[in-house]
């Protein structure tokens, strides 16, 4: 009797889990499905299947250029995010800094701030900077990368501080005792220990940058369009499955990156 109730409870739980998973996966499923439809206007049931939209996506110059730009911006922003985020995490975790918790919150802010708000304020800031310095900032690659670093930093800080929290500092002392200076100690002992956080932080930071639309809308210049913006612009004119095909390519690439990363660092354990 109680066993029966138990299995009933389990059934309900499994049901709920399946339902929410379905809720997440269903749109993905449709995007995948749609990408292979033969007809131009998506309608059900499909008239037939074809790979031509993938070809169309690959031949679409704005998509290809956007993809390359997003890749460059994402990689640069991730590198900058690491260079700034790792020392920041070390400082926050290791030294009692005045306003430490406040700085920590501040560093995480770009992640929770609505993209539109972030975009608007950066837009204004970059215009003001341009006026003040006379340098071309708004619409430049540098301006875009700088903005994207802002959304990478929170991921790096969040995940690196998490891996530092469980780090035993006596092994750094052991290294120094054996003759390693501060830099060697960091490279040989600290870095390997925080690598999971570093890898996961870079991955999520990169993905966030790569998929960013709202903020980038304010900051891109003429002839410089990221992939999400290129897709948006395409959708203003057409709704054929080219967009679905482009999305499938992105999803597959990001999925592959996560699976490869997960082989080295268990993502479920760091995030």
Partner 1 sequence: MARLSIEHLRKVYGEFTAVDDCSIDIADGEFLVLLGPSGCGKTTTLRMVAGFIQPTAGKITIGERDVTTLPPWKRNCGLVFQSYALFPHMTVAENVAFGLEMRKIAPADRAPRVTEALRLVRLTGLDERYPRQLSGGQQQRVALARALAIEPDVLLLDEPLSNLDAKLRQEVRVEIRDLQRKLGLTTIMVTHDQEEALTMADRLVVMEKGMVRQIGTQRELYEKPADRFVAGFIGRSAFLDGAMAEAGRFRSGGGLDISCKATASGPATLALRPERLAIGADAEACANRFPARVEHVSYLGALLDIDVRLTEQDRILLQVPNRPGAAEPKPGDMITIGWAEDAGLVYPREAKA
- Is 269 a binder of partner 1 (CB under 8 A)? no
Told to check if 160 binds partner 1 by CB under 8 A, we report no
Nearest distance in Å: CB 85, partner 1: 22
180, 232, 258, 267: which one binds partner 1 (CB under 8 A):
180
Residue of 176, 214, 217, 232 interacting with partner 1 (CB under 8 A): 176
C-alpha pair distances (Å), 46 with each of 25, 30, 40, 54: 20, 12, 10, 17
| Contact predicate 172/90, CB 8 Å | no
Tell me the per-residue interface mask from 191 to 210 with partner 1, x by CB under 8 A, - otherwise.
-xx-----------------
Residue with tokens 């082989």: 263
Separation of first and last alpha carbons in the chain: 40
CA atoms within 13 A on the CB side of 238: 14
Does residue 171 belong to the site contacting partner 1 (CB under 8 A)? yes
For residue 188, state whether it binds partner 1 (rule: CB under 8 A).
Answer: yes
Task: Tell me if 165 contacts partner 1 by CB under 8 A.
Answer: no
Residue found by looking up tokens 């992939």 in the block: 227
Q: What is the CA radius of gyration of the chain?
A: 23
Q: Could you say which of 88, 153, 175, 215 contacts partner 1 (CB under 8 A)?
A: 175
Tokens of 119: 């975009």
Q: Determine the size of the site formed for partner 1 (CB under 8 A).
A: 17
Residue 170 binds partner 1 (CB under 8 A) = yes
CB neighbours of 135 closer than 8 A, spacing ≥ 6? Answer: 129
The DSSP H or E segment spanning 123 is helix 115-133
181 binds partner 1 (CB under 8 A): yes
Phi and psi at residue 37, to the nearest 5°? -65, 145
Interaction between residue 221 and partner 1 (CB under 8 A): no
Nearest residue to 246 via CA among 233, 259, 228 = 228
* Out of 178, 235, 256, 260, the residue judged to bind partner 1 by CB under 8 A: 178
Determine if 264 is a binding residue for partner 1 (CB under 8 A): no
Using rule CB under 8 A, residue 236 touches partner 1 = no
For residue 30, report the phi and psi dihedrals to the nearest 5 degrees.
-65, -40
Does the protein bind partner 1 through residue 184 (CB under 8 A)? yes
Find out whether 262 and 200 touch, Cβ atoms under 8 Å.
no
Piece of the chain touching partner 1 by CB under 8 A; list 6-14, 176-184, 246-254, 258-266: 176-184
CB of 162 to partner 1, least distance (A): 17
Give least dist CB 161 to partner 1, A.
19
Phi and psi at 263, nearest 5°, equal -70, -30
| Nearer Cβ to partner 1 (6/174) | 174
Binding site for partner 1 (CB under 8 A): 168, 170-171, 173-181, 184, 188-189, 192-193
């Amino acid at each position: 009797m109680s066993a029966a109730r138990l299995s009933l409870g389990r059934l309900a739980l499994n049901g709920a889990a399946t339902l929410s998973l379905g809720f997440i996966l269903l749109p993905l499923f449709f995007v995948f499905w749609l990408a292979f439809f033969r007809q131009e206007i998506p309608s059900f049931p499909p008239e037939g299947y074809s790979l031509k939209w993938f070809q169309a996506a690959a031949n679409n110059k704005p998509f290809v250029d956007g993809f390359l730009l997003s890749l460059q911006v994402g990689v640069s922003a991730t590198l900058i995010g690491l260079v700034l985020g790792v020392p920041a995490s070390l400082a926050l975790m290791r030294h009692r800094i005045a306003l430490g918790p406040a700085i920590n919150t501040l560093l995480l802010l770009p992640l929770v701030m609505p993209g539109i708000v972030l975009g608007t304020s950066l837009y204004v800031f970059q215009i003001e900077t341009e006026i003040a310095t006379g340098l071309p900032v708004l619409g430049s690659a540098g301006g875009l990368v700088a903005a994207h670093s802002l959304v990478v930093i929170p991921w790096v800080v969040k995940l690196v501080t998490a891996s530092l929290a469980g780090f035993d500092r006596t092994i750094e002392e052991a290294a120094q005792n054996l003759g390693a200076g501060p830099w060697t100690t960091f490279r040989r002992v600290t870095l390997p220990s925080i690598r999971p956080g570093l890898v996961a932080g870079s991955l999520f930071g990169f993905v966030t940058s790569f998929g960013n639309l709202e903020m980038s809308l304010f900051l891109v210049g003429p002839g410089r369009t990221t992939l999400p913006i290129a897709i948006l612009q395409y959708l203003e004119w057409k709704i054929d499955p080219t967009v679905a095909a482009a999305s499938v390519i992105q999803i597959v690439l990001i999925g592959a990156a996560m699976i490869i990363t997960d082989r080295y660092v268990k993502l479920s354990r760091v995030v």
